[in-house]
Structure 1
Amino acid sequence: MNLPEVVIYTDGACSGNPGPGGWAAVLIFGPHRKEISGYEHATTNQRMEVTAAIRGLEALKRPCSVKLHSDSAYL
């Protein structure tokens, strides 16, 4: 079965650890691009990195072949 390929770029960070933080993911499917992001008032750097990946995967609308890119060694 040939699944459509989606590329997801993710990142997460916080100011202080713990502290306020945010996450973002960019999903690319052919010529289409979707950006999603969010924040937490009290969180950790690793939590934001993982949240970015989870939210990116949750944004998929159907089964896909996924290439996930992150600078997190934790992931």
Structure 2
Amino acid sequence: MKDVIIYTDGACSGNPGPGGWGAVLRYGSHEKEISGGDEKTTNQRMELQAAISALELLKEPCKVKLHSDSAYLVNAFKQRWFDKWQKNGWVNSKKEPVVNRDLWERLLELDRKHDIEWVKVKGHADDELNNRCDQLARDAVPR
């Protein structure tokens, strides 16, 4: 399997409001930046969309180290929140429907396809690629 490094971030102006996402993918000496936005969304949806969009670019199963400053995203995989969600019919611990189920289901498919290590990074710190993703995400917010 190819080793790929991915950094992702999401941004929102208001929550909900217009939002953007950004990602940087690295494979060997190759690097690709991607971004996108939505007129009415939430920060959490943009965090998830960044990861989905980056992983969907991979043409074959890869070994991925995916970095995000989103505890929502990383903890869901590290603590396997989705196991309980699925067991309970996509209902959370508060007996409410899981928010962003559509995106979680897409991410779970991608997680099964790739060997992903989910890495939490500190946001707005000295991590060059995380800062670049933050800029990509903010620049992608529809004005």
Q: How far is the alpha carbon of 1:59 from its aligned partner?
A: 0.7
Q: Deviations over 1:19-75 (max 9, x none)?
A: 001001110000000111000000000000000000010010111100000000100
Out of 1, 4, 10, the residue aligned to residue 2 of structure 2 is: 4
SS of the residue corresponding to residue 72 of structure 2 reads coil
Q: Give the aligned partner of residue 24 of structure 1.
A: 22
Aligned partners of 1:55 and 1:4: how far apart in 2?
A: 18
SS of the residue corresponding to residue 74 of structure 1 reads helix
Of the two, which has the highest radius of gyration?
2
Which consecutive residues of structure 2, in runs of 5 or more, have no partner in the other structure? 74-143
Q: How far is the alpha carbon of 1:6 from its aligned partner?
A: 0.1
Q: How many residues align?
A: 73
Q: Give the aligned partner of residue 71 of structure 2.
A: 73
Q: Report the TM-score, using the length of structure 1 for normalisation.
A: 0.95
Q: Report the TM-score, using the length of structure 2 for normalisation.
A: 0.50
Dislocated runs of 4+, deviation >6 Å: none
Over the matched positions of the two proteins, sequence identity in percent amounts to 73
Aligned partners of 2:71 and 2:36: how far apart in 1?
A: 21
Q: Give the aligned partner of residue 46 of structure 2.
A: 48
